Amino acid sequence: MDSQRLVLFFVFSFSVFLLLDAWQRDKQPAPPAPAVSDRAAKTAPSAAPVPGPGDKIAVPALPTATVSQSPRPAQEPETTVKVETDLVVARISTRGGDLRHLEFKKHRDTLDKGKDFVLFDYVPDYLYIAQSGLIGPGLPNHQTHFKPSGEHFQLAEGQDHVEVRLTAPPADGIEVTKIYRFRRGSYLIDVSFEIANKSGAAVQPYAYFQLVRDGKPPAGGSTMLPTFTGVALYTEKEKFHKFTFEDIAKNKATFPKKSNDGWVAIIQHYFFSAWLPQNGTPREFYMQKQPDGDLYSAGVQIPVGAVAPGAVATLIVPFYAGPEEPEKLEKIAPGLELTIDYGWLTVIAVPLFWLLSWLHQWVGNWGIAIILLTVIIKLLFYPLSAASYRSMAKMRVVAPKLQRLKDQYGEDRQRLQQAMMELYKTEKINPLGGCMPILIQIPVFIALYWVLLASVELRHAPFGLGIDDLTTSAIREFFDISTWASVAYFVLPILMAATMWIQTSLNPEPPDPVQAKVMKFMPIAFSIMFFFFPAGLVLYWLVNNVLSIAQQWHITRAMERAGLSPRKN
């Protein structure tokens, strides 16, 4: 059997297996979400219980409308504070000082590109918020009503940051102020507590910082290309770990509870949020499913330390909520770049992304950068590819002899295989000579697939010729009525199928009729399969095929001019 055809068949089978596996995982029933009416029926308690270190921290019930419209007791009206910088628009609730709305000005919504992308929100059908508070008798937590220093804050021209201060009602001589500091050009927010002890005794409070999210995947996700949504945790000792919401609900999440470093995050496709306590301070991590509804929380508790009478203590914990941009994340906290999911071939994907980004800096178009990256990869593999095509050219020479052997031995498979091996030995042909280049390119192909799937830089990145998003697949465009006119997404897989057919025609037809039929069917099968892949990946494979055809044609013609051509006997 021709080795290259064997490997191509393996690639096809492996790809179909991946697609079926992804489809099965995506079709698994999600944990049942409570109806909106059920959530609305549960009202938050008027006073929060006082938790202790290590205790579970309750999450307030979801309102029937947005935070600003939620009915609250008259003595504690809940309002929101709007904060606007050059990158984000945020809303902070006066109840608990929760960060309940966060949208990004530089990123478009997944389904409606005319809107900003919203990561945090607090509405009946979606909950994703950041909470923090203090643990101790009389100390404010995420159910305490705070008084803000203003209603609308905007980063002014020339300012490098904007600060929002929320003051809690004094209790037993303890005055607490919660402070948000937003920076220009950054998705990093400083969240801090100022604790002024005006009582006659020292206090030793704890602080907690947590993320709360429902268990639904992000809107607009692909059916055949599902991505991870869940909790991530990192420590220097245990390194990076991810936990699905299902794992948390079933108490299957095993993680280091206590550490002196590390962070906790909730990640989804392209974006994430994380609490980043300073290394060198003790902390205790936790994650749990809330008893009411499809809500999950993950956070960290930190001791503030003793606050003597008359003293003021300040605890600052950085908070990141934004896109997964590797170069920026590496500078914020150790291991934070690991939130970008490049799959099991990260060691290949990282340098591929670096090279792709470098090319993009020069050409300014991610599609052209992908084309140039394909050319570079092809040049690196040129010696191996040349050896493969020479081996295939020799196989074309002996194709008539192989056919005669098949006619001679008929159905005697054992005698036929022995005769074929003797022929290969006589003609000095390695039947596996075409395997190596393809086997080496399979990991590169898979790694590039994850790069194109996980890189937020390519999200909504246009190429031209009707392709306005290199991360979108043809099948997704098909179900989006507004973009049916964009036929370029369908042209790419069809062109790729045509190049595969040309490649097949350049090779000798296998003597086995079943194998010959499989090879003729493969271009069609691959074309259908690539309808589900991102346009950038199809572009890479199309350009790779075109270059392979040119290289194979050149090597075959050169060998024929040198006197190596099929002999008619």
pLDDT digits (tens, 9 = 90+) for 450-504: 888 888 998 888 888 778 888 877 666 555 544 444 677 788 888 888 888 887 7
Q: Are 51 and 113 in contact (CB under 8 A)?
A: no
According to the model, what pLDDT value does residue 212 have?
95
Span 221-234, pLDDT tens digits: 655 566 789 999 99
Whether the per-residue pLDDT at 527 is higher than 60: the answer is yes
What span, in angstroms and rounded, lies between the C-alpha atoms of 92 and 96? 9
Alpha helices in 202-310 (DSSP H): 245-249
Supply 36's token pair. Answer: 């909106």
What percent of the chain shows pLDDT beyond 90? 39
According to the model, what pLDDT value does residue 35 have?
33
pTM for the model stands at: 0.78
- What is the rounded average pLDDT for all residues in the chain? 78
Q: Are 497 and 529 in contact (CB under 8 A)?
A: no
DSSP secondary structure code for residue 292 in this structure: S
Kind of pairing between the strands at 126-135 and 206-214: antiparallel
Span 398-450, pLDDT tens digits: 666 766 777 777 666 777 777 777 777 776 666 555 566 667 777 887 888 88
According to the model, what pLDDT value does residue 160 have?
94
What span, in angstroms and rounded, lies between the C-alpha atoms of 241 and 319? 19
Supply 378's token pair. Answer: 């092809």
What span, in angstroms and rounded, lies between the C-alpha atoms of 144 and 208? 14
- Which is more confident, 36 or 467? 467
Residue 557 makes CB contacts below 8 A (sequence gap 6+) with: none
Topology (CATH) of 62-218+277-326:
Beta-galactosidase; Chain A, domain 5 (2.70.98)
**Residue at 302: amino acid letter:** I
Dihedral in degrees, nearest 10, Cα atoms 325, 244, 93, 69: 120
Q: Which of 181, 154, 183, 155 is nearest to 166 (CA)?
A: 181
Supply 347's token pair. Answer: 């060691």
Scan for tokens 């394909």, then name that residue.
Answer: 374
Whether the per-residue pLDDT at 20 is higher than 70: the answer is no
Kind of pairing between the strands at 80-84 and 88-93: antiparallel
What span, in angstroms and rounded, lies between the C-alpha atoms of 406 and 214? 63
Taking residues 44-56, report their average pLDDT. Answer: 40
According to the model, what pLDDT value does residue 396 have?
65
Which residues make beta-bridge pairs with 212? 129, 297
Residue 554 makes CB contacts below 8 A (sequence gap 6+) with: none
Kind of pairing between the strands at 312-323 and 188-197: antiparallel
For the chain, the distance separating the N- and C-terminal CA atoms, rounded to the nearest angstrom, is 22
According to the model, what pLDDT value does residue 492 have?
84
Q: How many CB atoms lie within 10 A of CB 558?
A: 14
Instruction: Report residue 207 CA to chain centroid gap.
Output: 30
The count of residues in the chain is: 569
**In the 3-class helix/strand/coil scheme, how is 380-394 assigned residue by residue?**
HCHHHHHHHHHHHHH
- Which is more confident, 17 or 92? 92
- Which is more confident, 516 or 81? 81
Write the burial class of residue 211 (CB in 10 Å: 0-12 exposed, 13-18 middle, 19+ buried): buried
According to the model, what pLDDT value does residue 501 have?
82
b/e burial code for range 371-395 (CB count within 10 A of at least 16 → b): bbbbeebbeebeebbbbbbbbbbbb
Whether the per-residue pLDDT at 204 is higher than 80: the answer is yes
Supply 191's token pair. Answer: 């969240």
- Helix or strand or coil: residue 457? helix
Whether the per-residue pLDDT at 310 is higher than 70: the answer is yes
Q: How far is CA 352 from CA 382, 434, 452, in A?
A: 18, 24, 10
Domain boundaries, the chain: 62-218+277-326, 350-561
According to the model, what pLDDT value does residue 366 have?
93
Angle at the Cα of 358 from the Cα atoms of 354 and 364, rounded to 5 degrees: 130
What span, in angstroms and rounded, lies between the C-alpha atoms of 536 and 452? 7
According to the model, what pLDDT value does residue 266 have?
97
- Helix or strand or coil: residue 92? strand
According to the model, what pLDDT value does residue 114 have?
84
Q: In what order do the strands lie in the sheet with 174-183?
A: 147-148, 161-167, 174-183, 188-197, 312-323, 271-275, 263-267, 230-235, 239-244
**Residue at 233: amino acid letter:** L
Whether the per-residue pLDDT at 146 is higher than 80: the answer is yes
Instruction: Report residue 92 CA to chain centroid gap.
Output: 27
Q: Are 317 and 276 in contact (CB under 8 A)?
A: yes
Kind of pairing between the strands at 271-275 and 116-123: unpaired
